[in-house]
């Protein structure tokens, strides 16, 4: 197959290039736009309590809208509001009423807080609208502009917070992060590729090729989301940039190093391209296949966010692999050796002095290298047991300086933080009977006494009196860890236990959604990780024709996962003193460190097998593998780790944690696992590592030296 791809790229390069261009144009023109949602309830199955509450609320209160935004007023000098200030607030609210977008159902000023430091106005959302809808987010942006203009020149200060405003700030933060990460990624690849090959063309070529590939991938992802009704989290755009350009550059490197090696052996240009694909194709396809399988395992998740991000990233990698096997060699076939311009270094076989010394040392003392590298990973992995997950997405999704966050802190001077997004508790008769006033009063009183509850509003009954809705303002920020703990424990317990006979109580709202999100995540960790590990192990077994090697290869990747999570815990919870790390972190480390760590292991073990087939004993094969594959792994790992490190420039704690963790994990995968731990273990195990296929045995038919 790979020989056929090599012939296709060298004999019909214009056809290959033209097909890619035409396909990309058609896909971009016809594919639906890739959109994201900030509404976490869209990611949960209907069996969870928060979703059951939402469905019941829609059914029994079809005319009732939620809270779209909160307008928070205080004085510019931070003092108490005067009667004149309160009158000014009423005037501003009246003027805003006439300017509201139809997506909002109205605006009502509330009395000032008891300490007179804050006054708020509640902006309702239309009954058929969601505060996370794009039109609601746009309306929040206009509301913000109008409110600021109306208080200009007064003693009042205004800020807009609440669901729509927070979604707006999160969306803007994601857009800024996407721009920053994109620019940093481009610059990094440009510089590193230029330094590695000393070539202007090769510095730019990956950016142009992957730029074309990314349009195809994003279009296909948008089509898949539309076809299968998949929901996409707002972070996917930023992650896609890094995945496409980072992994894409890696696979291009796999090919280019092979191509350059073939030229140095004296082959002509086109045969060198064909042989490069024939030799590197298996590593690229196998590595890409392992990554795709790891991503696709997320379809087993119970959460829509992972059911969509898994296939999205799998599509991106699949398109990248296809491009590395067809588009890249076709382009190189057209450009020829001019691709290395202006450098002439490609003609000279380097001595790889540093990697030669490392390889010789590892070949002589594989036990020392295995123990040392394994010990480093094991020590770091110990800290992973201290991982404390936090569900405070409000703190993670956008910087603390955005208006919704500042307005929330202002609101907390006079009101419970939960006022931004009240929790809804529904009391529903399971027998179709009307709820009595005594039942409602008793139930509301019990809720008010529950730990974590600030205030409980008067119940609102549906038309036949069989269901009542209680608006519960929590004492903590609705997205904080404390609020989640309160709803998960005392609030839900009190609601369930206080429900009169013949009734059922359901706790809904954003905080309840996050509680169920946490439960679903714990279930997914127990299902997705083992399945993905098993499938990747099967792929390795088929590739290497061994049932021994996959065990220690997966063990090394598992150690890399633990070491990466441990390093994050050590830095953020230990050194920086954070209470916890975002609960999504382990799944993202799994996605990239486990999957991509397998990439580098495959590249190194494939080279080691080639050396063994040339008649080298296990120790010398490991030494030669490090000598020849070491530069490829080092270059690929450096570029990929650097691209993920650019996420740290995104401006919020989620991307900072992801950027550090994934870049560190890839660095470990390349420079510890693949470069030392894997070849050292293989050298120690020897011929038995390839049992029962013994694919390391010398093949007399393979007379030409294969190089990485």
Q: Are residues 624 and 554 in the same domain?
A: yes
Total of domains in the chain: 4
- Residue 80 belongs to some domain of the structure: yes
pLDDT, tens digit (0-9, with 9 covering 90-100), for 281-332: 877 888 888 888 888 888 887 776 677 778 888 898 999 999 999 999 999 9
Q: What is the CATH number of the domain that holds 99?
A: 3.30.70.1320
Q: Are residues 627 and 579 in the same domain?
A: yes
- Which positions of the chain have pLDDT values less than 50? 38-41, 701-708
Helices (H) then strands (E): counts for the chain: 25, 11
pLDDT, tens digit (0-9, with 9 covering 90-100), for 69-83: 899 999 999 999 999
* Strand partners of residue 125: 104
Establish whether the linkage from the previous residue to 342 is cis, with ω within 30° of 0: yes
Q: Are residues 649 and 606 in the same domain?
A: yes
Beta strand spans in 414-479 (E): 423-429, 453-456, 460-461, 467-474
Q: Are residues 302 and 444 in the same domain?
A: no
- Residue 487 belongs to some domain of the structure: yes
Q: Are residues 386 and 339 in the same domain?
A: no
φ/ψ of 534, rounded to 5, equals -65, -45
Q: Are residues 540 and 480 in the same domain?
A: no
- Residue 47 belongs to some domain of the structure: no
- Of 481, 499, 515, the one marking the end of a domain is 515
Q: How many CA atoms lie within 13 A of 215 on its CB side?
A: 16
Residue position matching structure tokens 């005067």: 82
Q: What is the pLDDT of residue 469?
A: 93
Q: What is the pLDDT of residue 699?
A: 56
Q: Are residues 527 and 506 in the same domain?
A: no
Q: What is the pLDDT of residue 353?
A: 65
Residue 660's closest CA among 596, 597, 593, 598? 593
Q: Are residues 421 and 432 in the same domain?
A: yes
Q: Are residues 399 and 544 in the same domain?
A: yes
Which DSSP letter does residue 701 get? T
Structural domain for 643, as ranges: 351-413+520-698
- Residue 48 belongs to some domain of the structure: no
- Residue 708 belongs to some domain of the structure: no
Neighbours of 701 (CB within 10 A): 4
- Residue 37 belongs to some domain of the structure: no
Q: What is the CATH number of the domain that holds 323?
A: 1.20.1640.10
DSSP for 175-243, please give it.
HHHHHHHHHHHHHHHHHHHHHHH-BHHHHHHHHHHHHHHHHHHHHHHHHHHHHHT---BTTHHHHHHHH
Q: Are residues 440 and 536 in the same domain?
A: no
Q: Classify the C-alpha dihedral 388-392-398-402 as positive or negative.
A: negative
- Of 463, 490, 515, the one marking the end of a domain is 515
- Residue 193 belongs to some domain of the structure: no
Q: What is the pLDDT of residue 318?
A: 92
Q: Are residues 528 and 595 in the same domain?
A: yes
- Of 349, 379, 397, the one marking the end of a domain is 349
Q: What is the CATH number of the domain that holds 432?
A: 3.30.70
* Run of H or E including 258: helix 236-264
Length of the chain counted residue by residue: 708
Q: Are residues 554 and 673 in the same domain?
A: yes
- Residue 380 belongs to some domain of the structure: yes
Are the C-beta atoms of 428 and 60 separated by less than 8 Å? Answer: yes
């Amino acid at each position: 197959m790979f020989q056929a791809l090599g012939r296709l790229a060298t004999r019909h390069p214009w056809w290959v290039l033209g097909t890619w261009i035409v396909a990309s144009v058609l896909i971009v023109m016809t594919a639906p736009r890739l959109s994201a949602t900030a509404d976490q309830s869209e990611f949960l199955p209907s069996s969870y309590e928060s979703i059951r509450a939402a469905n019941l609320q829609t059914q029994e209160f079809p005319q009732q809208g939620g809270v779209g935004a909160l307008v928070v007023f205080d004085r510019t000098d931070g003092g108490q509001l005067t009667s004149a200030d309160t009158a000014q607030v009423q005037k501003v609210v009246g003027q805003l009423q006439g300017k509201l977008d139809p997506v909002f159902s109205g605006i009502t000023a509330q009395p000032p807080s008891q300490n007179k430091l804050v006054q708020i106005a509640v902006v309702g959302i239309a009954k058929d609208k969601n505060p996370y809808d794009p039109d609601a987010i746009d309306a929040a942006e206009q509301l913000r502009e109008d409110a600021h203009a109306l208080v200009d020149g007064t003693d009042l200060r205004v800020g807009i917070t609440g669901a729509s405003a927070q979604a707006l700030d999160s969306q803007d933060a994601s857009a800024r992060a996407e721009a920053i990460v994109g620019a940093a990624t481009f610059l990094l690849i440009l510089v590193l590729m230029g330094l590695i090959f000393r070539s202007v063309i090769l510095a730019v070529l990956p950016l142009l090729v992957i730029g074309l590939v990314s349009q195809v991938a994003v279009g296909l992802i948008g089509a898949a989301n539309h076809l299968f009704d998949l929901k996409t989290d707002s972070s996917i755009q930023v992650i896609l940039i890094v995945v496409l350009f980072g992994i894409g550059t890696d696979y291009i490197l796999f090919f280019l190093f092979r191509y350059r090696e073939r030229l140095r052996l004296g082959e002509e240009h086109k045969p060198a391209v064909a042989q490069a694909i024939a030799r590197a194709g298996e590593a690229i396809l196998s590595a890409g296949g392992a990554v795709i399988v790891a991503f696709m395992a997320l379809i087993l998740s119970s959460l829509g966010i992972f059911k969509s991000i898994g296939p999205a990233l799998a599509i991106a990698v699949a398109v990248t692999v296809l491009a590395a096997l067809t588009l890249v060699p076709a382009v190189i076939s057209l450009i020829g050796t001019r691709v290395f311009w202006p450098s002439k270094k490609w003609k000279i076989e380097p001595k790889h002095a540093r990697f030669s010394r490392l390889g010789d040392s590892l070949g002589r003392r594989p036990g020392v290298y295995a123990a040392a590298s394994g010990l480093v990973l094991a020590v770091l992995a110990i800290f992973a047991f201290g991982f404390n997950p936090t569900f405070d997405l409000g703190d993670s999704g956008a910087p603390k300086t955005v208006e919704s966050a500042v307005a929330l802190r202002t609101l907390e001077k006079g009101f419970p933080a939960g006022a931004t997004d009240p929790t809804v508790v529904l009391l529903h008769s399971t027998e179709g009977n009307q709820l009595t006033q005594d039942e409602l009063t008793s139930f509301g009183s019990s809720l008010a006494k529950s730990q974590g509850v600030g205030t409980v509003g008067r119940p609102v009954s549906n038309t036949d009196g069989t269901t009542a809705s209680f608006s519960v303002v929590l004492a903590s920020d609705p997205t904080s860890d404390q609020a989640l703990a309160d709803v998960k424990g005392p609030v839900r317990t009190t609601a369930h236990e206080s429900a009169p006979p013949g009734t059922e109580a359901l706790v809904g709202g954003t905080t309840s959604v996050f509680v169920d999100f946490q439960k679903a995540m714990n279930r997914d960790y127990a299902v997705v990780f083992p399945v993905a590990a098993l499938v990747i192990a099967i792929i390795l077994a088929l590739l290497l024709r061994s049932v021994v090697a996959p065990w220690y290869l997966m063990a090394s990747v598992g150690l890399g996962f633990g070491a990466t999570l441990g390093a994050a815990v050590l830095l953020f919870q230990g050194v920086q003193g954070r209470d916890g790390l975002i609960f999504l972190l382990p799944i993202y480390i799994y996605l990239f460190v486990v999957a991509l760590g397998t990439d580098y292991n495959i590249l190194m073990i494939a080279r080691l097998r080639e050396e063994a087939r040339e008649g080298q004993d296990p120790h010398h094969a490991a030494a030669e593998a490090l000598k020849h594959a070491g530069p490829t792994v080092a270059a690929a790992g450096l570029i990929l780790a650097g691209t993920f490190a650019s996420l740290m420039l995104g401006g919020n704690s989620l991307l900072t944690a992801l950027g550090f963790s994934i870049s560190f994990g890839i660095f470990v995968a390349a420079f510890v696992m693949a470069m030392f731990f894997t070849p050292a273990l293989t050298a120690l195990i020897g011929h038995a590592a390839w049992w029962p296929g013994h694919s390391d045995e010398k093949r007399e038919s393979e007379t030409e030296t294969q190089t990485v």
